Structure 1
Amino acid sequence: MGTARDYYREYYTERLWDWVPAAIREADETEGGSALRALLRAFASQAAVMKRSQDRLWDDMFVELADDWAVPYIAELVAARLVSALNPRGRRSDVAKTIYYRRRKGTLAVLEQLCDDIAGWDAKLVEEFRRLARSRHGLDGSAATGRVTGTPEGGLADLRSVRGSLLTGDAFDEFHYTPEMRRPRDRLGLRGIPVLGFHLHRLTLVQFSDVTPRLVRNLAGTRDGYAFDPSGRDVPLFGRGRARGDWSQWRSAAEGELPRVIDCRLYNEEIFAVGDPVIAWIRSTGLIANQATRRACAKSLSQIAGQRFATRAALRRVLGGLPQGAVLTSAGVFAEILARTLTEDSGAVVLQDAVALGLKGAAPIPRAAMRAADLGDWNRTAPPGIDLLFDPARGRLLFDPGAALPADLRARYTVGMSAPIGAGAFGRRNAQSAASVHWAQRSTAAGVPANGVLELSDSTTFDNPPNQPAITDLTIRAREQERPYVRLAADWKLGASGNNRTLVIDGLWIGALTGQLQIEGSFAKVTLRYCTLDPGGTDGAGGVIPPCGLVITGSVDELVIENCILPGLTLSGAGASLDRLVVRGSIIDAAKTGATGIIAPRTAATMTNCTVIGSAIDGLALDVEKLDASDTLVAARADVTDLQSGCFRFSARGPGSRVPHPYESHLLDDLQRLFASRRFGNPAYAELSETAPAAIRRGSEDQCEIGAWAGERRPIRLDGLRAKIDEYMPFGRLPALIVEN
């Protein structure tokens, strides 16, 4: 049961204290320890727990409101087969919908819904028997054709289709295959008659608004090269995804509705179909003056009713060959026909709101003036009428802002994130008081206050924030659902006025041209929460992005780092000290030149669910005096001075490491095959690869992957999903679970 703000403990403490005789109360207070009051507070805490339990007796009878401990008792009433208690969301959903699932057992809608309810992932379910090549007979009826390649169902592939080839092996593959007889295992044995393919997409979509694109390439002509990402690095753009609404209205997801990188050909795709609405419109439109001509045009359109056209040129060519072709292809009429025949499953419709760009305070560029293209070498010429060319796979764009400054550009786009680690436009669910100072639209004129709450109100770029040497109790935070980018041209110095001061930095992305985040003075506690201190890399033009480290030059009693990404922590100067370091759910990336890792030789550190990446598997990236680590992956060398204190449990470290009391821990020997990607900006950044040792992928205390993603418990969710799919699969079918990202 979580901590409630009902003040029961305080109430019962005072009631018990009132019952104590006055003489004893006075004697207890004069001795200075107030031990009796502390004992009564402990009794009051248990009384508060009992009172809360009594208050929730009615709520615990409903699975939507019950505490986690009560869910198994409700499950007994419906004989539900529970998934792991380490997946509380999936367990609660399973119990709440058990009867619903049983009534619809075996349907595709329920099987896809299980992926969402039990694992929290989007899924595309494919009946693999529909992709088997075979000879058709008279009872089959007319063969359906693929929407991309036009390949008839069960027929030969059109190898001239580039996009069709790129979809090979995907959930939207339109080619057909000879059957396999082996049992499915990942993608092996997938082409079987009884096989159902579950294509799982594990990434979470996060949308950024009002981002300031970064100018990275000066090109000849009026257009220049920008990156959607404010740091200038390549970041793939994703579609908006589909809204999870009423499952009774379920339909299989379209290609642009899943959390996956936007495909250029899909974004530019326009499919036109002539149907009854456009024929009815042509009979009554005022664009054609003569009534007889309107009837003749409607008759001509009815000749191609139901046909689909993959391009505007194909539609114009067919319309031009009709008896009333001259009228139908005239400028005004043809523009209306294009708008009214564009199908809902076209990529241009599905992805119409995926990307937006415009100037500050102005309307965004219309969708008709945007085109996706390959900007790998930046040398592309935009077709007539196209104002914006962008590369969704790299997050690049070509644009001419005119007389406006590049800093006035504003972009909206979506990226895929594995978990809420680092800065991101997601709800951080922290109790937050009202802000005393606001920064917005790159304005930092208000300065950094000494105490109170400073809130960065949007996701634009804030250059060179002012120093504050006299902090007493300060919180610097991003507004909920925003991710501001703070760019430093020099060290950002935050110091304390006096002793025992506190500082909280929440939700900021701090990057550096030539600077670091510097903590000065005497702090009792400094907290970094959901922050990214840029670990460094390269931008879209090949330039170096330096890492932005955390440097302590003063005295800090306790430093807490939660759900953060940073290149390292160092102590600088004779008076620098850090007594206690607590790191939870964070990534320390010391792989780039200039990144240090955690170098605090006189500090006692506690690390839980962390990933430390060094430049080499035997390079030093963690140097502390004492260490108590759990579920932590140190892909480098760790050097702990005091080997008698602490423990290194359910963790892994590089060769040559000195760690205290290893328990169920592992020794690493290779860095290259350990991670799916080590480039910050890649959706698979710092994730374990499929080639990582099994002991690392299932070596945490909960038998999940070791490192920063241990808290996501993805193996447990996958196991629970597999168990539920087996329970609700149609008879005789075999599941194949394929993790797409």
Structure 2
Amino acid sequence: MSAQAGGGRSMSAQADRLYDLLPVVHRMRDADQGFPLRDLLRVLSRQADVLEQDIARLYDNWFIETCDDWVVPYIGDLLGYALLPEAATLEAADAACGAGLGHVLAPRADVANTIDARRRKGTLSLLEDLARDAADWPARAVEFYRLLGWMQHLDHPHPRRGGSADLRDPGRLQRIGWANGAFDPFAHSVDLRRMGSQRRRGRYGIADVGVFAFRLRSYPVTTTPAYCEEEFGPHCFSFSILGNDTPLFHRPVEETAPTHIAEEINLPVPLRRYRFAERGPRADYASVSAALYGAGRSVLIQAPDWPARGQGLPVPIEALIPADLSGWHYQVPRGRVAVDPQLGRLMFPANQRPRRGVWVSYQYGFAADLGGGEYARSTSELENATRYIVHAALPGAAPAESWPAGHFGGIADALAAWAQAKAAASQPLRALIIELAESGVYEGSIDLQLDAGEAIQLRAAECTRPVLRLLDVRASQPDALSIAGQSGSRVLLDGLLIVGRGIEVQGPNDEGEGPPPPDDLCELLIRHCTLVPGWALHCNCDPKRPGEPSITLDGSRAALRVEHSILGAISVISPLRRGEPPPLRLCDSILDATGVERVALGAPDEAVAYVDASFSRCTVIGEVQAHGVALAEDTIFSSALRVLRRQLGCVRFCFVPNGSRTPRRFHCQPDLVLAALASGDASRRARELLRVVPQFDTVRYPAPHYLRLADDCCAEIRRGASDRSAMGVYHDLYEPQREANLAARLQEYVPAGTDAGILFSN
């Protein structure tokens, strides 16, 4: 490890440190005999390094900031920090599987702030800090007795207490049920039910305190072209490059003081039209709030040379109008731009539309680091690889006539340069990295033809979300991202959003008999990517081409691996000479055929796809028809799973619809609930089958709650994974454990006689 990290010179100096302490005369005698003493001392030096590292680690383990993860519960025990019962089941042998769960059951920040929390016990702002430290959820704490309707004393007025609704203030009226009432400003009658009731929870009681948890995260999109909605007019645009409606979110602002109670601007919540507007004493909603628009804030719009040459970078805040663009009907004055933050729409004057395009920066809501996005992700490097940088068009920047060495204006130019470099090289070049530098749009068709042993990685730069837009430019041929290779070749896709077409892996031309030919792509690896299900979207998020696959394996035996990604259906066209089925691995991903009646994994020319599939912590929408399933765990199959080869493989801790044909199953649903029922009770059996069906908030990409389990989904699914977390792609969020951990902290730190409860705002 140290030799690779520090280089050969530093390693040799470290390895010979004991040898260098010897007198010169002994080193001279050792050199005459072929350095046997030096070799012995090098072995001792390596053991001394291990001992020193262990001593240094023991010192670091004295402090909560630097200690290993396994030490956190022990430090918490010294402070009297109460762990959940599940923490006792974590074992060192399961470190690879339980590392994420260990962070949830013993949060480092919560243990570190234990003493400070005890000093602040009973204060309202502490409850928000507990939600952040114990569950990693931003929160807003509300004392409901302040919202009770009561007659105020004339000598002691409380103007900030809840009052009656002002029908002339639509902004305040919108807050009644918005975010589950977290920002409700009005007075209510007393509710005698308790907040902590297991049956029907109350809310507006004298002793009730609500902690509104915000589970969605706010992700940025930086300087990306807006989508022109040409079907409604060339002056209509969507913030989303996919052309769908998307609610814009706040970019949370850090709170100024520990005692501050979180407001809308401090939380990852959607922007409301009336919140987006600048409100004055006369309730003027015709201008935009300066706290939400501008560089480094929630929204920024750039339109080069609009409304006049040299302007529009960015569009001034004085030109914006908050508006309701739900029907694309709005009379926009000249020199102004109408913005609808709830739908993510823009409208320019029909007689003054931007000629050089529109670029936007905004925030959108999602639940996890999944698919293409501007979040931190670990990306592996190809060894001895040549790196090319590809740039996207930026607002106001003229097209470059010439690029520096290694920089290009398009992916096709980078591939052409790579072909020339391979032809001119004296030694074979085997590895290429094409890095997309900006979160822009990269258009055109891509055809990757790899030589034997060659590897090409097409990846996003750190914290960017490049959009690869595959256009329909050839009427007689498909325009997919085409990949073909020879033996030992690999293709890696990292951090991309691919729209317009899918990926097609071409196998070798094979018309004979005998063993499969070796000249074929070895592996296709897709990580943190989004292959838009249905290729493209309408405004309402319905797919434009719902029957089209995102990945087609056409006669190829390439191994396919998908990690932390979102993709549509997978179609497998089997080669003529088969051999053993190639592996197909999906991990922490969504496989969405855009409908439960469609086929998520299958073959267009056969009954099943000739692959050996594996699913780990996935959510699958559509039928799976595979030759074999080696392993499926913690996965939700919304439609039937049909496997041809049932003798091998295992399905464990999954939801598999009744009537599926699978390998042996262990601890799956609805098998468990049916086994617990008495035989012959057909009506109860039918009710139980309906009860344990997974319920999702929405099944349409890219809604903020895309394929998240609904809060009223049954416990058998929400806690049905192998480690008592939720089944499906959001398994690693460990939301049941986070909720239990936060509930335990609230019981410890709320004021005496107070009944606190957790309310989910999104």
TM-score by length of 2: 0.75
SS of the aligned residue for 1:266 comes to helix
Which one-letter code corresponds to 1:211 in the other structure? T
Q: Is the CA contact 2:596–2:638 (under 8 Å) kept in the aligned structure 1?
A: no
Distance 1:697 1:125 in 2: 25
State the partner residue of 2:170.
162
Structure 2 stretches of 5 or more lacking a match?
16-44, 88-100, 306-311, 394-408, 420-430, 473-477, 509-519, 603-607, 671-688
SS of the aligned residue for 2:368 comes to coil
Q: Is the CA contact 2:303–2:356 (under 8 Å) kept in the aligned structure 1?
A: no
Distance 1:713 1:196 in 2: 24
Which one-letter code corresponds to 1:136 in the other structure? Q
Q: Please say which of residues 558-567 and 405-414 is displaced more in the overlay.
A: 405-414
State the partner residue of 2:316.
366
Query: 1:308-457 maps to which residues of 2 (within 5 A)?
Result: 308-311=281-284, 347-350=289-292, 353-359=297-303, 363-382=313-332, 384=333, 387-399=336-348, 408-432=357-381, 436-441=387-392, 443-444=409-410, 445-448=412-415, 449=418, 451-457=431-437
Q: Is the CA contact 1:589–1:613 (under 8 Å) kept in the aligned structure 2?
A: yes
The Cα of 1:11 is off from its aligned counterpart by 8.6
Closer/same/farther in 2, CA of residues 421 and 670 from structure 1, 3 Å limit = farther
TM-score by length of 1: 0.77
The Cα of 1:399 is off from its aligned counterpart by 2.3
Q: Is the CA contact 1:555–1:576 (under 8 Å) kept in the aligned structure 2?
A: no
The Cα of 1:421 is off from its aligned counterpart by 1.1
Distance 1:6 1:722 in 2: 47
Distance 2:532 2:285 in 1: 45
Q: Is the CA contact 2:549–2:571 (under 8 Å) kept in the aligned structure 1?
A: no
Closer/same/farther in 2, CA of residues 208 and 126 from structure 1, 3 Å limit = same
Which one-letter code corresponds to 1:396 in the other structure? R
Give yes or no for the alignment of 1:234 onto 2:245: yes
State the partner residue of 1:492.
480
Distance 1:710 1:79 in 2: 29
Q: Is the CA contact 1:558–1:581 (under 8 Å) kept in the aligned structure 2?
A: yes
The Cα of 1:406 is off from its aligned counterpart by 6.4
State the partner residue of 2:529.
531
Could you report, residue by residue, the CA deviation over 1:8-67 in whole angstroms, capped at 9, with x for unpaired residues?
A: 9x999x99xxxxxxxxxxxxxxxxxxxxxxxxxxxx999998775444111111111111
Give yes or no for the alignment of 1:509 onto 2:458: no
Distance 2:722 2:277 in 1: 47
Please tell me the root mean square deviation across aligned C-alpha atoms, in Å.
Answer: 3.5
* Aligned length in residues: 626
State the partner residue of 1:129.
145
Which one-letter code corresponds to 1:376 in the other structure? S
Could you report, residue by residue, the CA deviation over 1:528-550 in whole angstroms, capped at 9, with x for unpaired residues?
A: 00011111264228985225511
Could you report, residue by residue, the CA deviation over 1:666-712 in whole angstroms, capped at 9, with x for unpaired residues?
A: 13658997211011121001111133222111111121211000111
State the partner residue of 1:262.
271
Distance 1:662 1:49 in 2: 45
Q: Is the CA contact 1:567–1:596 (under 8 Å) kept in the aligned structure 2?
A: no
Which one-letter code corresponds to 2:291 in the other structure? V
Give yes or no for the alignment of 1:685 onto 2:634: no
Query: Which of these residues, 153, 159, 171, is aligned with residue 144 of structure 1?
Result: 159
SS of the aligned residue for 2:468 comes to strand
Could you report, residue by residue, the CA deviation over 1:621-643 in whole angstroms, capped at 9, with x for unpaired residues?
A: 34241330110000011111222
Query: 1:173-322 maps to which residues of 2 (within 5 A)?
Result: 173-185=184-196, 188-219=201-232, 224-243=235-254, 248=258, 250-271=259-280, 308-311=281-284
Which one-letter code corresponds to 1:568 in the other structure? A
Distance 1:46 1:420 in 2: 40
Closer/same/farther in 2, CA of residues 350 and 706 from structure 1, 3 Å limit = same
State the partner residue of 1:632.
635
Could you report, residue by residue, the CA deviation over 1:92-126 in whole angstroms, capped at 9, with x for unpaired residues?
A: 11221111111111112221111111111111111
Query: 1:567-716 maps to which residues of 2 (within 5 A)?
Result: 567-572=568-573, 574-575=575-576, 579-592=582-595, 596-599=599-602, 601-614=609-622, 620-667=623-670, 669=690, 674-716=695-737
Could you report, residue by residue, the CA deviation over 1:488-507 in whole angstroms, capped at 9, with x for unpaired residues?
A: 12433443443011111001
SS of the aligned residue for 1:58 comes to helix
Closer/same/farther in 2, CA of residues 688 and 507 from structure 1, 3 Å limit = same
The Cα of 1:422 is off from its aligned counterpart by 0.9
SS of the aligned residue for 2:229 comes to strand
Distance 1:543 1:154 in 2: 41
The Cα of 1:432 is off from its aligned counterpart by 4.2
Which one-letter code corresponds to 1:540 in the other structure? C
Distance 1:312 1:553 in 2: 56
The Cα of 1:728 is off from its aligned counterpart by 1.0
Distance 1:165 1:366 in 2: 29
Query: Which of these residues, 431, 443, 461, is aligned with residue 479 of structure 1?
Result: 461
Which one-letter code corresponds to 1:209 in the other structure? T
State the partner residue of 2:682.
none
Q: Please say which of residues 499-508 and 368-377 is displaced more in the overlay.
A: 368-377
Closer/same/farther in 2, CA of residues 124 and 542 from structure 1, 3 Å limit = closer
Closer/same/farther in 2, CA of residues 631 and 406 from structure 1, 3 Å limit = farther
Q: Is the CA contact 1:368–1:386 (under 8 Å) kept in the aligned structure 2?
A: no
Q: Please say which of residues 253-262 and 100-109 is displaced more in the overlay.
A: 253-262
The share of aligned pairs that are identical, in percent, is 29
Distance 2:224 2:624 in 1: 33
Distance 2:693 2:358 in 1: 38
Distance 1:49 1:501 in 2: 38
State the partner residue of 2:439.
459
The Cα of 1:417 is off from its aligned counterpart by 1.1
Distance 1:738 1:386 in 2: 44
State the partner residue of 1:149.
none
State the partner residue of 2:23.
none
Normalized per residue, the structure richer in strand is: 1
Q: Is the CA contact 1:82–1:95 (under 8 Å) kept in the aligned structure 2?
A: no
Q: Is the CA contact 2:303–2:354 (under 8 Å) kept in the aligned structure 1?
A: no
Q: Is the CA contact 2:485–2:522 (under 8 Å) kept in the aligned structure 1?
A: no
Distance 1:366 1:672 in 2: 50
Q: Please say which of residues 717-726 and 348-357 is displaced more in the overlay.
A: 348-357
The Cα of 1:91 is off from its aligned counterpart by 2.1
Closer/same/farther in 2, CA of residues 567 and 495 from structure 1, 3 Å limit = closer
Structure 1 stretches of 5 or more lacking a match?
16-43, 146-152, 272-307, 314-337, 339-345, 615-619
Q: Is the CA contact 2:635–2:727 (under 8 Å) kept in the aligned structure 1?
A: yes
Closer/same/farther in 2, CA of residues 683 and 603 from structure 1, 3 Å limit = same
Which one-letter code corresponds to 1:446 in the other structure? D
State the partner residue of 1:718.
739
Which one-letter code corresponds to 1:587 in the other structure? I
Distance 1:638 1:48 in 2: 53
Q: Runs of at least 4 residues of structure 1 off by over 6 A? A: 44-51, 401-407, 670-673
State the partner residue of 1:88.
103
Which one-letter code corresponds to 2:299 in the other structure? V
SS of the aligned residue for 1:603 comes to strand
Could you report, residue by residue, the CA deviation over 1:429-475 in whole angstroms, capped at 9, with x for unpaired residues?
A: 22447872222225425243474101111122222233121251110
Distance 2:346 2:377 in 1: 30
Q: Is the CA contact 1:626–1:641 (under 8 Å) kept in the aligned structure 2?
A: no
Which one-letter code corresponds to 1:311 in the other structure? D
